[in-house]
């Protein structure tokens, strides 16, 4: 289970794929990198349910919150029950089944840092290694230009309006983890307690 969560964040938001077929015709066009960078930079807060499909086919669900720059919180539903937080330049994985402290990783060692950066610039040299259109979504494959060995993240955007709908994380070993988000709520204040230690934070209140 810890390996599954690490994969999702070591390399790393969207309605389910069934919603893609209902997109209006006007949305069915490739979006340029400048538009997508502007969208991510304007995305200050967001929350949504999510479904995670791991490389081995394991399925997990939960809820996540984003506070840009630098913060994200995943709460996994039972029986997983883990909490994963990005904050203070680190990614922390809290396993309720473990009696030891959290596993901690540097945020800048994961492709998640691309989305949470203070200034997202998809036009940066060698950051985007793929930019295409799959018939419903603009797909951008991005990596840390200085550390491509950390893996990449494939971001799926729809248009009219622009929204980040899904990501696929590919780690350094080639393992893939897909995260699909439910309807996102954006632009509202998030309580600071969401980014405290899990044992000091209230459970989510939706």
pLDDT tens digits, one per residue of 20-47: 434 443 446 899 999 999 999 999 999 9
Q: How far is CA 67 from the centre of its chain?
A: 12
User: Is the pTM for the entire model greater than 0.75?
Assistant: yes
Q: What pLDDT shows up at residue 202?
A: 44
pLDDT tens digits, one per residue of 93-120: 998 887 777 899 899 888 889 999 999 9
20 C-beta neighbours (distance < 10 Å), count: 18
Closest among 119, 122, 87 to 106, alpha carbons compared? 87
Q: What pLDDT shows up at residue 199?
A: 57
Rounded Cα distance, 30 and 43, in Å:
20
Rounded Cα distance, 140 and 16, in Å:
18
Q: What is the mean pLDDT of residues 142-156?
A: 93
Tokens representing 95 are: 């396993």
Could you tell me which CATH class the domain 2-184 is placed in? mainly beta
Average pLDDT score, the chain: 84
Residue 17 has φ and ψ, to the nearest 5°, of -60, -25
Query: For 124-150, b where at least 16 C-beta lie within 10 A, e where not — what string?
Result: eeebbeebeeeebbbbbbbbbeeeeeb
Q: What pLDDT shows up at residue 102?
A: 85
Sign (positive or negative) of CA dihedral 104, 105, 106, 112: negative
Distances in Å between the Cα of 131 and the Cα atoms of 128, 160, 187 are: 7, 19, 27
């Amino acid at each position: 289970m810890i390996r599954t969560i690490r994969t999702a964040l070591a390399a790393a938001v969207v309605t389910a794929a069934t919603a893609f077929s209902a997109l209006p015709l006007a949305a069915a066009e490739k979006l340029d990198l400048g538009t997508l960078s502007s969208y991510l930079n304007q995305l200050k807060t967001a929350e949504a349910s999510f479904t995670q499909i791991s490389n081995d086919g394991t399925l997990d669900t939960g809820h996540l919150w984003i506070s840009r720059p630098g913060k994200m919180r995943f709460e996994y539903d039972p029986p997983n029950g883990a909490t994963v937080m990005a904050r203070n330049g680190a990614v922390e994985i809290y396993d309720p089944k473990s009696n030891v402290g959290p596993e901690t990783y540097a945020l800048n060692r994961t492709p998640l840092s691309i989305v949470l950066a203070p200034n997202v610039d998809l036009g940066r040299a060698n950051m985007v290694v793929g930019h295409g259109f799959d018939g419903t979504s603009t797909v951008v494959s991005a990596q840390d230009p200085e550390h491509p060995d950390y893996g990449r993240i494939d971001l799926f955007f729809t248009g009219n309006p622009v929204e980040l709908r899904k990501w696929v994380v590919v780690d350094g070993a080639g393992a893939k983890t897909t995260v699909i988000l439910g309807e996102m709520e954006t632009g509202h204040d998030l309580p600071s307690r969401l980014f405290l230690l899990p044992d000091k934070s209230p459970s989510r209140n939706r």
